[in-house]
Amino acid sequence: MSGESITAQNLRQVLISVAQKIIEQESYLNSLDAAVGDGDHGITMRLGFQAIIRKLGELDPQIPMDIMLREVGTAFMGATGGAIGVILGRALIAAGNALQGSSEMGATEFRHVLGAMEVAIATAGKAKPGDKTILDAVHGANRIGRVALPNLD
Applying CB under 5 A, which residues contact Mg ion? 33, 37-38, 40-41
Q: What is the Cα–Cα distance from 9 to 39, expressed in whole angstroms?
A: 35
Least Å distance between CB 49 and Mg ion?
16
State how far the alpha carbon of 29 is from the alpha carbons of 25, 38, 83, 147, in Å.
Answer: 6, 11, 16, 32
Least Å distance between CB 96 and Mg ion?
26
Report the DSSP beta bridge partners of residue 104.
7
Least Å distance between CB 3 and Mg ion?
40
Nearer CB in complex with Mg ion: 38/153: 38
Nearer CB in complex with Mg ion: 31/103: 31
User: 20 CB contacts (<8 Å, ≥6 apart)?
Assistant: 49, 53
Nearer CB in complex with Mg ion: 40/104: 40
